[in-house]
Amino acid sequence: MDACCSFSSTLILQCLLLTQPQQPLTNHFNKKMLSLRVGPSTSFHSRRFHTGALERRWRLGRDCFLSFSHRKGTGLGVRSVNSEMAPFTAAEEETLPEGLQPELMPKHVAVIMDGNGRWAKNKGLQPWDGHRAGVEALREIVELCGKWGIQVLTVFAFSTDNWIRPKIEIDFLLNLFERTLKSELQTLAKNNVRISIIGDSSKLPKSLLKVINEVEQVTKNNTRLQLIVAVGYSGKYDVLQACRGIAQRVKDGEIEVEEIDERLIEQELETNCTEFPYPDLLIRTSGELRVSNFLLWQLAYTELFFAQELWPDFGRSGLIEALMSFQQRQRRFGGRKS
């Protein structure tokens, strides 16, 4: 869940340079397309890039700046049909990797996608490079889950605890989420993927709420894989809103206090959107050994797997390793094997 650290004016100016690298900086200021204040100590250092890295850096800078210009109304006139992320390929059924047994596959996998910021920092890139790479990693995992028969994938995209971060960072992340939903919708729908969004939506932008509603409506009858994205979510928030819902029902005379049980609480949790609310396997990347306020009630008997790889590096091989580990465990749920 690493997110970008505070963005400096230097970073935004680099974005501007990357949106149209063939034009000198003075052209932008002469045309008064954007006004920036840069401190006198600000300096730019040339770096050497191989072709692929340079192209990726330009594309990431362009998309980042377009995100801000789209939200703030700063028209640069450089939006391109190619600015949207390419959809993943159609998820065809495939034989499971060697060693994995279909009868032991988890029905529900949850993922804490941690390490985007550190991945970018380690490569000398900007924070949003890490988030873009994180989206690519998620696309691959969604495709693999669809191919291998996993029925529910829940990913932790944005925590309620993340609202304390700088506003400019939050705006970027939510705009990236909105753009990704738009660009992936048709592909996910064609691949029979149902999308559900959970979390406190009260602080989300109206434009994002509109897209979320559209995505959930378009994909609500899809059955191959359910992708649950937790945005503005935390496990404590989930339990709290469930308690409030139950208390209101008691107040309204719908139920008696004595009727409150685990089944009733489960019905009020945000994961009531799925047939399989309890994850069989939780994967957390980046080497951190904690659940970070994610699905606290639902993880009661979940098997935990902590991967050393940062999220953008966690791909097919990482998922196979996690699934192999899961299939080697004995799940007793408090009982004892005879």
How far, in Å, CA of 193 to CA of 146, rounded?
Answer: 8
How far, in Å, CA of 307 to CA of 322, rounded?
Answer: 8
Q: Does the annotation count 280 as an active-site position? A: no
Helix (H) or strand (E) holding 111: strand 108-112
Location of structure tokens 């979940």: 302
C-beta of residue 231 within 8 angstroms of C-beta of residue 205: no
| Tokens (6 digits) for 324 | 């192999």
| Tokens (6 digits) for 282 | 């939780």
CA 211, 217, 219, 223: dihedral to nearest 10 degrees?
A: 140
| Ramachandran area for residue 231 (φ above 0: left; ψ -120 to 50: alpha; else beta) | beta
Phi, psi of 295 (to 5 degrees): 50, 50
Catalytic position from the list 2, 114, 129, 280: 114
Angle at 53 between CA 51 and CA 57, to 5 degrees: 120
How far, in Å, CA of 316 to CA of 140, rounded?
Answer: 8
Q: What sign does the CA torsion over 104, 107, 110, 116 have? A: positive
C-beta of residue 153 within 8 angstroms of C-beta of residue 41: no
Q: What is the CA radius of gyration of the chain?
A: 22
Active site residues: 114
